[in-house]
């Protein structure tokens, strides 16, 4: 095992250095390392136990998805807006359809074609981020759009993995089964997201002072592996559990810290996974299937450009932003490897599909930076050849889509009620499942304890009543949410006062919710008692009325919701305090193709100490400086007399081109590195001989600190040492004074005693 790990790490390290040198993604280096160490390229495998490598690779998948979850955040998904949802939906549907059809054209069966479509519909978050960073395009508007699309694709990838796993088990399409699996998945995601947000941030906050880096790392990994076990127990993949826990921790204030701590572990095991991917690639197969590789590669590049650009355009973005986004998402990456590995492990895909997809990923990853540079020429070409009418239509469409429109009151109210009922229903169902499988039988079995006081039938009845009170009491806040929450909300009051028609709809909706609540309570009663229909409905209605009227239940419900919302928004609130501007202000700039970007003035910038008038930023770059942040103090709309200093955060507003020019100004202002002229601190000593002016004076009276710029560290007097003497200590003849200071100044000071 040590031998194999040594080979993997050394090979991966050397190849990653080479790929870094040639400015290529290190993921490609890991794959090449796997090809070198594998059984195909060098005649025999350098690895003795390939099974152990596969095991480490599976752990690598867990940490990769855990890290993706930390970067994902379900709350970000709710905030990405219609642009990311529409564009990602267009890409996923378009590329899956094209991939499936392409597989059928190549002669593959339905399962292989479906897996191919799933692999081709998701771009690589890691590669896109790296390419944008390398090309210094992170401040451009399209970068934010692309990241939003990738967030949606990441979630879809998790859903797709579950659906494909169901297909792999059934070996066929089963529509009803797939819908059941999808519903089960949604319930699982909602349940553990809600439970995790309700508990984990509160726990981390309470024990924050005890969570050093070591403890927090162990705790985070423990939570990750715990959720993995829960996912496996629920019938899902281990990767889903890791992703869910990462997304839960992404909502905590400690998210960045956890991400930083887990990064080295993810890098180590992630590299092993990609090496294991490379070990499965047979170069001879790549030569044999060169035509499908070329066809699929061209399909990915052309298809992603078309569907991503079209989807972004349909979402209301400009032609330029749409093309830049489309030309950025032209690769497949990590999830394609995971899906391909899963298909091959499950034995539902052809052995040739795996190396083909990996080869396509390598080629598209390598070409990504070059293809991204073609976005501007493509836009110029279209601007020249599109008719004025089409260009005007695109501009007007984008403006209409970016116009802010308020939701109807009914839509807002129904969304609130719907989300509350679904979440509360899932939590109630989970509590029922655990209670009636484990807890309720245990309670009823203890009825024998009361046999000495009551008749057996009476004792059992008492325990049944206790069991019912426990389950209804535990679920009462969630039953209240299902039957009554938001009935007195602001939207409900507006609708109630709008007319008799609205009152009838509100009353009907409330009645429907009460009936659902009655059903929920009735289920609990039926599981414990045997009653007639009339008694069952009567008791259920009575309990629903008690729950709806109970102030205690209402307080518990609101308290749980407030705690959940507080935990959910804690990271965002913390981040908003550091934001240069509110989200509302930044969103208001979108229709005008202007966005906000922040730059930190380097310590060695020639701009330091100059005023804004002297820099004349507006003339040279076109941006507007809207704020300067210095040590947490904001200066809004600074005047021309405002000076800038190292470390200042300069917040500017402008178009992509203007912000690029300002960045070039900042980069060009960095002065060349000066030679190191710093003096070093050394330790010296000298003897106070007869006649030395320091004799008879105390340390503080000698003014030695100011005159020699040194500190008296100690005095040797005879055989004794006085270390760190007090300032009132008086120098005596023959004292050996030990001082610390700059070498040249010390020499000058000592020589002053011996002219």
Interval 249-268: pLDDT, tens: 888 888 888 888 888 888 88
Q: What whole-number percentage of the chain has pLDDT above 70?
A: 88
* Whole-number Å distance between alpha carbons of 283 and 355: 9
* Whole-number Å distance between alpha carbons of 751 and 336: 74
Handedness of CA 246, 251, 252, 256 (dihedral sign): positive
Interval 454-513: pLDDT, tens: 777 788 888 888 888 998 888 888 888 888 888 888 878 887 777 667 778 888 888 888
CA-based Rg of the chain, rounded to a whole angstrom? 34
Q: Is 681-751 a domain of CATH 3.40.1050.10?
A: no
| Statement: residue 692 has pLDDT above 50 | yes
| Statement: residue 171 has pLDDT above 60 | no
**What token pair was written down for 64?**
């990769």
Of 105-109, 539-543, 561-565, least confident by mean pLDDT is: 561-565
SS3 helix, strand, coil % of the chain, rounded to 5? Answer: 70, 5, 25
**What token pair was written down for 639?**
């005047």
Nearest to 479, CA basis, from 515, 428, 542: 428
* Whole-number Å distance between alpha carbons of 755 and 750: 10
* CA 188 to mean position of chain CA atoms: 19
Place 403 in a pLDDT band, splitting at 50, 70 and 90: very low
667 in Cβ contact with 605 (< 8 Å): no
User: Which pLDDT belongs to residue 754?
Assistant: 59
247 in Cβ contact with 193 (< 8 Å): yes
CATH architecture of 594-668: 2-Layer Sandwich (3.30)
- Edge to edge, the sheet with strand 649-654 lists 595-600, 649-654, 624-630, 633-636
Domains 2-380 and 594-668 fall in the same CATH topology: no
Q: What angle do CA 501, 505, 509 make, to 5 degrees?
A: 170
393 in Cβ contact with 401 (< 8 Å): no
| Statement: residue 127 has pLDDT above 70 | yes
User: Which pLDDT belongs to residue 302?
Assistant: 93
CA distance readout (Å), 135 to 20, 119, 371: 15, 26, 12
Give backbone dihedrals phi and psi of 667, rounded to 5 degrees, phi first.
Answer: -65, -40
Interval 197-212: pLDDT, tens: 888 888 888 888 888 8
Topology at the third CATH level for domain 2-380 = Na+/H+ antiporter like fold (1.20.1530)
- Mean pLDDT of all residues belonging to the chain: 80
Give backbone dihedrals phi and psi of 742, rounded to 5 degrees, phi first.
Answer: -75, 140
User: Which pLDDT belongs to residue 202?
Assistant: 85
Interval 616-637: pLDDT, tens: 888 888 888 888 888 777 888 8
* Whole-number Å distance between alpha carbons of 563 and 574: 16
Q: Break the chain into its structural domains and give their ranges.
A: 2-380, 409-565, 594-668, 681-751
Of 23-37, 134-148, 440-454, 620-634, least confident by mean pLDDT is: 134-148
241 in Cβ contact with 228 (< 8 Å): yes
């Amino acid at each position: 095992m040590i031998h194999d790990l040594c080979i993997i790490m050394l090979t991966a390290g050397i190849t990653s250095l080479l790929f870094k040198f040639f400015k290529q993604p290190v993921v490609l280096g890991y794959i090449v390392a796997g090809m070198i160490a594998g059984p195909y390229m060098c005649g025999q495998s350098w690895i003795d136990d390939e099974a152990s490598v596969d095991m480490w690779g599976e752990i690598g998948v867990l940490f990769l998805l855990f890290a993706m979850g930390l970067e994902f955040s379900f709350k970000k998904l709710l905030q990405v807006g219609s642009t990311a949802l529409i564009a990602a939906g267009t890409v996923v549907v378009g590329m899956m359809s094209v991939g499936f059809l392409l597989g059928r054209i190549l002669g593959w069966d339905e399962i292989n074609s479906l897996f191919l479509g799933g692999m081709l519909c998701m771009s690589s978050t890691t590669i896109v981020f790296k390419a944008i960073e390398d090309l210094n395009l992170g401040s451009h508007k399209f970068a934010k759009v692309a990241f939003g699309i990738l967030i949606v694709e990441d979630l879809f990838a998790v859903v797709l993995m579950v659906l494909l796993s169901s297909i792999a088990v059934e070996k066929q399409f089963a529509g009803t089964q797939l819908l059941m699996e999808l519903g089960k998945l949604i319930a699982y995601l909602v349940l553990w997201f809600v439970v995790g947000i309700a508990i984990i941030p509160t726990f981390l906050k309470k024990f924050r002072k005890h969570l050093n880096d070591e403890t927090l790392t162990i705790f985070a990994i423990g939570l990750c592996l715990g959720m993995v076990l829960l996912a496996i127990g629920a019938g899902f993949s281990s990767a889903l559990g890791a992703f869910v826990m990462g997304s839960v921790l992404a909502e905590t204030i400690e998210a960045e810290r956890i991400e930083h701590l887990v990064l080295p572990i993810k890098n180590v095991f992630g590299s092993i996974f990609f090496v294991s991917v490379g070990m499965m690639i047979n170069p001879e197969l790549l030569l044999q299937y060169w035509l499908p590789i070329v066809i699929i590669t061209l399909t990915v590049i052309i298809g992603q450009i078309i569907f991503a650009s079209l989807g972004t355009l349909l979402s209301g973005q400009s032609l330029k932003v749409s093309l830049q986004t489309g030309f950025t998402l032209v690769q497949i990456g990590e999830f394609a490897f995971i899906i391909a590995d899963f298909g091959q492990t499950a034995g539902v895909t052809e052995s040739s599909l795996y190396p083909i997809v990996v080869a396509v990923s390598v080629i598209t990853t390598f070409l990504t930076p070059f293809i991204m540079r073609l976005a501007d020429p493509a836009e110029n070409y279209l601007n020249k050849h599109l008719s004025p009418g089409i260009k005007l239509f695109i501009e007007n469409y984008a403006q209409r889509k970016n116009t802010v429109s308020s939701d109807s009151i009914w839509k807002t109210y129904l969304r609130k009620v719907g989300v509350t009922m679904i979440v509360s229903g899932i939590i109630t169902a989970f509590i029922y499942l655990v209670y009636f499988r484990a807890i309720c039988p245990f309670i009823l079995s203890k009825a024998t304890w009361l046999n000495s006081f009551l008749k057996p039938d009476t004792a059992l009845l008492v325990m049944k009543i206790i069991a019912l009170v426990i389950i209804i009491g535990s679920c009462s806040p969630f039953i209240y949410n299902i039957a009554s929450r938001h009935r007195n909300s602001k939207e409900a009051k507006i609708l109630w006062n709008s007319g008799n028609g609205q009152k009838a709809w509100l009353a009907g909706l409330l009645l429907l919710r009460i009936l659902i609540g009655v059903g929920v309570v009735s289920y609990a009663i039926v599981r414990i008692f045997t009653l007639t229909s009339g008694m069952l409905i009567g008791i259920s209605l009575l309990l629903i009325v008690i729950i709806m009227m109970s102030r205690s239940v209402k307080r518990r419900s609101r308290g749980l919701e407030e705690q959940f919302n507080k935990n959910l928004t804690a990271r965002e609130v913390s981040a908003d305090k550091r934001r240069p501007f509110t989200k509302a202000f930044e969103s208001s700039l979108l229709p005008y193709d202007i966005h906000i970007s922040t730059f930190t003035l380097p310590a060695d910038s020639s701009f330091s100490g100059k005023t804004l008038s002297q820099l004349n930023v507006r003339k040279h770059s076109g941006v507007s400086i809207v704020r300067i942040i210095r040590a947490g103090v904001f200066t809004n709309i600074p005047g021309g007399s405002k000076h800038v200093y190292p470390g200042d955060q300069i917040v500017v507003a402008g178009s992509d081109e203007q912000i690029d020019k300002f960045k070039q100004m900042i980069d060009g202002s960095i002065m060349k590195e000066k030679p190191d002229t710093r003096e070093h601190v050394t330790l010296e000593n000298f003897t106070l001989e007869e006649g030395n002016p320091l004799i008879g004076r105390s340390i503080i009276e000698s003014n030695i600190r100011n005159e020699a710029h040194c500190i008296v560290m100690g005095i040797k007097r005879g055989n004794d040492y006085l270390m760190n003497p007090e300032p009132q200590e008086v120098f005596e003849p023959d004292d050996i004074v030990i001082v610390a200071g700059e070498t040249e100044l010390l020499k000058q000071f000592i020589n002053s005693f011996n002219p």
